[in-house]
Chains A and B, each alone.
Chain A
Amino acid sequence: MGIEEGRLHFSWISSAEAGKFVDVVKEITDQVRQLGPASKLIKELPVLSDESVSSGKMAAGEAG
């Protein structure tokens, strides 16, 4: 998809593993902080104010 590595993590932690939970959360927080603000797949309020964003907009590039 193109979202940079380090943003998505998986872990299996039992409710009895409080220590592990703390460690994993600290680690992920540090990693993500280092990556900085995310720029991809961020949902903002739509700015769709006029018809220049018409339906079926085609990406710029190769013309027919």
Chain B
Amino acid sequence: MNHHLWTLIAQTIHRSSSDRILGGFHQLSRLCGQTGQTGQTIFQGIYNTMTDKMVKKADLTQLLSRLLEDYRVFAPVRRGDITNFQQISTADEPYFSCTNTILSPKSLMLPQSECMFDFTLEKGSDMAGIMREIDKDYSPRVIFGIRPCDAKSFQLLDLNFDTSSYRDPWWVRRRHHTTLVGLGCNVPCSTCFCTSVGGSPFAEDGLDLLLTDVGDEFALQSITEKGEQLLRKTGIETESSAATAKAVLACKESALGLMGSSVPTNNLEKHDVTALFNADFWDKVQFACINCGICTYVCPTCWCFDIQDEVRKNNGVRLRNWDSCMSPLFTLHGSGHNPRNEKLQRVRQRFMHKLKYFVDKYERGVACVGCGRCVEQCPVNIDIREVFRLMNQFKS
């Protein structure tokens, strides 16, 4: 094991009892063997028990009311059978009983439809002929109750929207002005597999603050300076006790044991990309697909968009909408040629992108955080977990 990991273990020994360590090592080696992930991320998820504060569940509305004074707050909300992240105006709106929302909070960073510029040709207007960037509200916001998988997805999307060559100004500003308050998953869904793809139910990647539900209370653990700032603004003073720390650890360990699914990823990197592209199994995988686009829209790591102008008489806007590689139009050239005219080509493209091209290009693992939404929502039960297996165990 590497040096860093030993340091973490040493720190933990000071805080926990020895039989927890033993139990932890068993967990750790089992998970490493299963997933091929380094122990580091998983370990961090289990053993970083540096809890700072705690708040009684009954006082949560008070905390949220306090936040609403200083931030725009977005949280999971439920209407009927639909759960989604929305801006809240009162502290009693959030709904935390779903493990995850139907739609990911991706739309809070990359809105599904967003007007970027407007322009006019009105004679006499001093803005005539000028494409003007539309003013937006970049006042501080909080996304409260985001799950670790979705927080990690923002980091993966950063690889596309915030690079050394290109910085999407809207994306970058939104990321900058947003504090992410995560909620760890005590009971992952049967379709969750975050631990197989570099995450964990209590991972801190991308989060500023992490909440753990320990029964009557939430433990609040700050992770970044932004998180510290928010914690100060809440006015919560109660330090968390040793008992809370133990409870948090218990939650984390139990969650790992309850992880719904796992997928193998260890061979994806080494497979020859052309051989994988030409594999026989794609025909079976693609058959049921109806190319609807649900997977791309509920997925927290799908980032494709389409830019278009809408005009009315002398005025217009340039807007950006989510687009989907599932649509035949997606690769339609101006000449009329379409390199992905067939459904098989489109279905293969999506999985090759997320599980192979992305792996090769960014060396950060797959473009999937294991949230399971596509598995749950696909109307014809195309299961990405099965595709992981087919791709990973592929023999040319």
A residues adjacent to B (C-beta < 8 A): 43-59, 61-64
Partner of A61, one of B79, B108, B109, B113: B79
Categorize the interface residue count of chain B.
Answer: 35 or more
CA distance A50 to B109 in the complex (A): 9
Stretch at the interface among B29-37, B81-89, B182-190: B81-89
With A45-B310, A55-B107, A55-B297 as contacts: A62 and B112 at CB distance below 8 Å: no
5 pairs, A vs B, C-beta closer than 8 Å: A47-B115, A48-B111, A51-B74, A54-B86, A56-B103
Asked whether B315 is an interface residue with its Cβ less than 8 Å from the other chain, the reply is yes
Q: Which residues of A are found within 8 Å of B135, using beta-carbon distances?
A: 49
B residues adjacent to A (C-beta < 8 A): 72, 74, 77-80, 82-87, 93, 95, 102-103, 106-109, 111-115, 118, 134-137, 174, 297, 310-312, 315-317, 319, 322
CB distance from B304 to the nearest CB of A (A): 14
Q: Which residues of B are found within 8 Å of A62, using beta-carbon distances?
A: 79-80
Task: Tell whether, in the assembled complex, residue A44 and residue B312 are in contact, meaning their CB atoms are under 8 Å apart.
Answer: yes
Task: Tell whether, in the assembled complex, residue B137 and residue A50 are in contact, meaning their CB atoms are under 8 Å apart.
Answer: yes
Partner of A51, one of B78, B79, B109, B311: B109
Residue of B nearest to A59 (CB): B79
Residue of A nearest to B101 (CB): A56
Residue of A nearest to B313 (CB): A45
CA distance A64 to B102 in the complex (A): 14
Residue of A54, A57, A62 most packed against chain B (CB within 10 A): A54
Task: Tell whether, in the assembled complex, residue A53 and residue B319 are in contact, meaning their CB atoms are under 8 Å apart.
Answer: no
CB distance from B193 to the nearest CB of A (A): 24
